[in-house]
């Protein structure tokens, strides 16, 4: 209960304190700002009765409010502290005078000019500040002529930031045209061109670029009043560029890394299906006996008997499949200068023998590749390549050598791969009723009763050869060999 009573007392005291804040009246002349000092930290948002009459600028760190009259009239302003309590009330009375009316008229003409200030100092109206766009001074001069009898003070100058931005644009455009050693800086409101070029034509080009970017000149206040005098006359562009033909460095030729891959793919497939039936008799054959009776009679008794051994009586089925493939991949990397021919060659000799006995002789089969290429860099990172590729591979025992050659001329973009050529050979053989379908038969001193054979033998083989080429424009040879160095590091581990 005591806590509640205490809270109500504090709340009523706070309301009473806010109600006790007296309203201060401030008279302002239109065009003259009013600065008010505070003894507390104000909230950043002020409550303005009519915002069309007055504007304000609050600086919390200095505890200051600057009121700026916009047009004649009366309005209230309430200021709170950071916790929301009302700490000050102001009644602003903006009064229009002849000078303030003149300020309003000037603002109607010149309010859109960035950086321009219009106000009243003492008993005079002034135009001041630092304008950003030099061409705006033409409008200012025109308005000043209209009010020439009003004694308006012209204190307008060009912003230094504008000159620095113009100088930066000058320098960027000069560098785009290949003159990297030329710089532009501002010295005493003048543009200085400094650096080195390799010819007089480049120096003239840099000067023309600078003139194209130069804005209209706005004389400083001291110059307009004649308080200073320029030595050697007024000049805002100075050309200090030195022509030094010896500095012309020979451009470093571009390098091209060419990666070539050769792929040789062999596939074969065999399928055999056969039906064979060949029954045969054994070597003793069959016997039939004739003879007399036991009592030596005249009659003859004949008894026939047939005996023997029959083999391969049941028919045979033969069915088999076989398949296989071989992939031979070879790759090569070569780094070469632009418009220079490069050659990369690899050769492997495989010895083998032919014949037997005293007729045996030694032979060798060669396998490898030979790459010749002349690259030329075109626009948009495209590379023109004149390519000659020869690839050979061996297979079997004794080895057979397969050799493929591709010669072409093509254009490929940097870091993109292209198939420059290839050969594909497909061979299919079908045989019917070949004896024997399931292997060789070995019959010695036997006589087959009959022969019945049905078979089908299918053989298919395919050989494919493809060449891939990937060019890449690089800055130096070390960059072109990074991939190879990584492979060696992995192997060493």
The residue from 40, 70, 95 where one domain ends is 95
Same domain for 152 and 70 = no
Q: Is the pLDDT of residue 330 over 90?
A: no
Same domain for 328 and 273 = yes
The residue from 158, 180, 199 where one domain ends is 158
Same domain for 262 and 318 = yes
User: What is the share, in percent, of the chain residues with pLDDT greater than 70?
Assistant: 72
Lowest mean pLDDT among 250-259, 260-269, 393-402, 404-413: 393-402
Same domain for 174 and 63 = no
Which CATH number covers residue 117? 3.30.70.1770
Same domain for 200 and 154 = no
Same domain for 317 and 199 = no
Tens of pLDDT along 465-491? Answer: 788 889 988 877 776 566 666 665 655
- Identify the DSSP state of 172: H
Q: CB-based contacts of 410: which residues, under 8 Å, 6+ apart?
A: 384, 385, 387, 418, 420
Mean pLDDT of 396-413: 81
Between 350 and 43, the higher pLDDT residue: 43
Residue 378 lies in a domain: yes
Same domain for 477 and 339 = yes
The confidence score (pLDDT) of residue 290 equals 43
Mean pLDDT of 207-224: 72
Between 427 and 73, the higher pLDDT residue: 73
Same domain for 167 and 79 = no
Boundaries of domain holding 121:
98-158
CA angle at 77 for the pair 76 and 81, rounded to the nearest 5°: 150
Mean pLDDT of 174-197: 89
pLDDT bin (cut points 50, 70, 90) of residue 332 is confident
The confidence score (pLDDT) of residue 232 equals 46
**412 — phi, psi (to 5°)?**
-130, 140
The confidence score (pLDDT) of residue 285 equals 47
Strand partners, 252: none
Tens of pLDDT along 75-132? Answer: 999 999 888 888 899 998 887 777 778 888 888 888 888 888 888 777 788 888 888 7
Of the candidates 246, 231, 155, 240, the one whose C-alpha atom is nearest the C-alpha of residue 199 is 246
What is the number of other CB atoms lying within 10 angstroms of the CB of residue 142? 11
Beta strands in 304-341 (DSSP E): 310-311, 316-337
**25 — phi, psi (to 5°)?**
-95, 135
Same domain for 173 and 145 = no
The confidence score (pLDDT) of residue 182 equals 93
Between 48 and 214, the higher pLDDT residue: 48
Residue 228 lies in a domain: no
Are the C-beta atoms of 323 and 270 separated by less than 8 Å? yes
Tens of pLDDT along 274-306? Answer: 767 667 655 554 443 444 445 554 444 444 444
The confidence score (pLDDT) of residue 206 equals 92
Mean pLDDT of 380-404: 80
* pLDDT mean across residues, the chain: 76
Mean pLDDT of 453-473: 80
Residue 1 lies in a domain: no
Q: How many domains does the chain have?
A: 4
Same domain for 206 and 132 = no
Residue 428 lies in a domain: yes
Same domain for 277 and 203 = no
Q: CB-based contacts of 8: which residues, under 8 Å, 6+ apart?
A: none
Of the candidates 11, 17, 13, 23, the one whose C-alpha atom is nearest the C-alpha of residue 88 is 23
pLDDT bin (cut points 50, 70, 90) of residue 438 is low
């Amino acid at each position: 209960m005591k806590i509640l009573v205490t809270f109500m007392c504090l709340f009523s005291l706070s309301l009473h304190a806010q109600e006790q804040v007296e309203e201060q009246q401030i008279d302002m002349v239109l065009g003259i700002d009013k600065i008010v000092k505070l003894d507390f930290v104000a909230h950043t948002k002020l409550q303005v009765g009519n915002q069309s009459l007055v504007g304000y600028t609050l600086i919390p760190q200095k505890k200051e409010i600057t009121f700026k009259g916009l047009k004649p009239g009366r309005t209230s302003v309430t200021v709170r502290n950071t916790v929301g309590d009302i700490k000050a009330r102001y009644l602003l009375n903006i009064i229009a005078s002849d000078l303030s009316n003149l300020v309003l008229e000037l603002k109607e003409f010149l309010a859109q000019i960035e950086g321009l200030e219009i106000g009243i100092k003492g008993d005079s109206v002034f135009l001041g500040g630092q304008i950003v766009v030099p061409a705006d001074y033409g409008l200012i001069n025109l308005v000043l002529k209209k009010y020439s009898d009003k004694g308006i003070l012209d204190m307008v100058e060009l912003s230094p930031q504008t000159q620095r931005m113009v100088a930066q644009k000058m320098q960027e455009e000069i560098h785009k045209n290949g003159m990297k050693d030329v710089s532009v800086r501002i010295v005493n409101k003048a543009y200085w061109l400094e650096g080195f070029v390799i010819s007089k034509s480049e120096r003239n080009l840099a000067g023309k670029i600078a003139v194209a970017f130069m804005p209209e000149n706005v004389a400083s206040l001291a110059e307009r009043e004649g308080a200073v005098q320029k030595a050697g006359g007024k000049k805002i562009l100075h050309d200090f560029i030195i022509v030094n033909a010896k500095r012309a460095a020979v451009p470093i030729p571009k390098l091209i890394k060419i990666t070539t891959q050769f792929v040789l793919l062999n596939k074969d497939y065999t399928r055999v299906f056969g039906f064979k039936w060949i029954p045969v008799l054994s070597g003793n054959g069959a016997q039939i006996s004739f003879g007399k009776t036991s009592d030596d009679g005249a009659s003859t008794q004949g008894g026939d008997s047939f005996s023997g051994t029959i083999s391969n009586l049941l028919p045979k089925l033969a069915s088999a499949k076989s398949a296989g493939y071989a992939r031979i991949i070879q790759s090569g990397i070569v780094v070469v200068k632009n418009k220079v021919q490069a050659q990369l060659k690899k050769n492997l000799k495989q010895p083998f023998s032919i014949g037997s006995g005293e007729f045996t002789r030694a032979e060798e089969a060669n396998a490898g590749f030979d790459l010749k290429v002349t690259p030329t860099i075109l626009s948009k990172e495209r590379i023109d390549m004149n390519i000659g590729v020869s690839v050979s591979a061996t297979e079997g025992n004794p080895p057979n050598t397969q050799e493929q050659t591709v010669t072409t001329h093509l254009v490929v973009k940097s870091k993109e791969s292209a198939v420059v050529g290839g050969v594909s050979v497909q061979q299919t053989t079908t045989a019917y009723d070949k004896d024997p379908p399931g292997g060789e038969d070995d019959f010695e001193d036997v006589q087959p009763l009959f022969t019945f054979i049905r078979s089908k033998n299918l053989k298919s083989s395919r050989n494919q050869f493809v060449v891939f080429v990937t060019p890449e424009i690089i800055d130096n040879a070390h960059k072109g060999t990074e991939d190879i160095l990584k492979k060696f590091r992995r192997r060493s581990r």
